[in-house]
Structure 1
Amino acid sequence: MKKIGFLSFGHWTPAPQSGTRSAADALLQSIDLAVAAEELGADGAYVRVHHFARQLASPFPLLAAMGAKTSRIELGTAVIDMRYENPLYMAEDAGAADLISGGRLQLGLSRGSPEQVIDGWRHFGYAPAEGETDAEMGRRHASVFLETLRGQGFAQPNPRPMFPNPPGLLRLEPHSEGLRDRIWWGSGSNATAVWAAQQGLNLQSSTLKDDETGEPFHIQQAAQIRAYRAAWKAAGHARTPRVSVSRSIFPLLDDRDRAYFGRSGKEQDQVGFIDEKTRAIFGRSYAADPEVLVGQLRADEAIAEADTLLLTIPNQLGVEYCAHVIEGILKHVAPALGWR
């Protein structure tokens, strides 16, 4: 059994062929798709966060709206770039969105990846400390955020406050109990997966990671997941961690599917450089008739290792088509693999 959700990058473009021609389209359709996915029996609705791009960028208003319109489905991010975040303000926003949803947030964080502009986080008012890299700054912001989510008081109260205070040091409000255990780390390497385990974070591993061994992507990703679980066990955490992987999977059920994805051209892993120093491997896409997909996905070792599968959806093709893709997987693929 696996939890199965969708992951949307929330692209929008004013081009005539796009189903999301504005930011408003991308946001409102994301809410509609969360509702549709819940009705279909999917387990999660996740959004990507990119700044300075025609994509989703401010997750908490969107997550709160999704939470108000749904009742069961998990709502999450994959991932929030912590180089851009004020961790205290973020803790307030996350607490509010989680309470609105009834405790359904599953927040994926990361230290960040190459972005649309040079050092975009500087425009948000953040800069690494002396001797610190931007990645280390992102992890520092994450550590403050995680500590704040514990709900312990840390601020000295005003002796003459506007409103009465509870005794002791004050914490940020609103506080949502249990959210700290529903934070994930988006990891692109084995080392950061181990770090995430040591911090008591769930693991999000996507379709891109550092090419550390030259093996096929799913083999390397499965090894990353096993390293994470070993580090979790060594750390002695009490709860069982969760692990997600994301994949582009398209059952070819009708002429639309075949027109869009019948010749995707991405049936093999791809290798490239995400910056001048980092060689990365990008996982393949899957597009085939359902019975063929079942065999292909059964051979994917990383999917087998994970408890949660996030389906990357082509959001610019519209809510109805994306719901069709999700339904196709839930009805025609997942049962044959024992995921349902």
Structure 2
Amino acid sequence: MKHPILIDTDPGPDDALAILLALSARDALDVVGITTVAGNVPVAQTTLNALRICELAGDLDVPVYAGCDRPILRPLHTAEFICGKDGLAGMKLADASRAPAAPHAVNAMIDHLRQSDVPLRLCALGPLTNIALALRMAPDIAAKIDRLIIMGGARDLGNITAAAEFNFFVDPHAAAIVFDSAIPITLFPLNATYQAVASTERLGDLDGTAPVQAQVLSMLRRNRAGGAALGGDKGHPMHDPCVIAYLLWPDLFEGRDCHVAIETAEGPTVGRSTIDWWGRSQEPPNAHVIGALDADQMFARVAVSLRSLDHRHESDSKAKS
């Protein structure tokens, strides 16, 4: 049975790979929509990027909805210094041939959840602004969310400040709303995702002559100032693809139930996620937090999935000729 999923994202290089992985897994995942949010770059660009990534995958049926252009209470912080001016530095993608769908992403999220015959899984790859506002506007949708899989937070050090991971730093108030929602959550913090480094060895199964794989390789092999610093010097960490890989291959991941609290007060620790890994607070768990993963197997399986997208390209080209 296919799992219906909704992807909330701010593409972003690792978001791009996550979306491609989801679209490649048609037998396992039904991507009912993609909602975009401001984060890595402003929302107009993240929306354009989501449309371009869908076109690269050869999938024009998945609706893309433009979402919030700023956090709930803070000014927007973006990350062009990591991902480039257009958010997808290293990829040479054609302009999108279609416009984003109506309505606004928050309304679209509410509509998809209310109208679905089965609970949906939400994949959160960027700041949680859209999801938090949807929960505030329509509290009933919480019952229609089977699980929320989030890339965000840090059990140890941050990557945008000493204390905070980027997604939670951009909109800590949204993160606090989500973790207070009682929705089942699986969390991928930095200590897990920095294990998923795209090293030369792990990229060895990708074919640089195939359209989709070539774009991915171009993106992952480019020099990126500070991009790999926290994960060592072997390559860029692929944070967001872990979320989709978890849906496809849960056997590759290990974690434990923890209480997670988000710092919303302005100051040097704003956006920090306090992950009670050892249960010291006695607070009830509100997330299943991933702590370890088999990165070698994950990248090997990602390569197989991406090859299926290139096979689809070949089939479409033959059909048109």
TM-score of the pair, normalised by structure 2: 0.32
TM-score of the pair, normalised by structure 1: 0.31
Q: Which has the larger radius of gyration?
A: 1
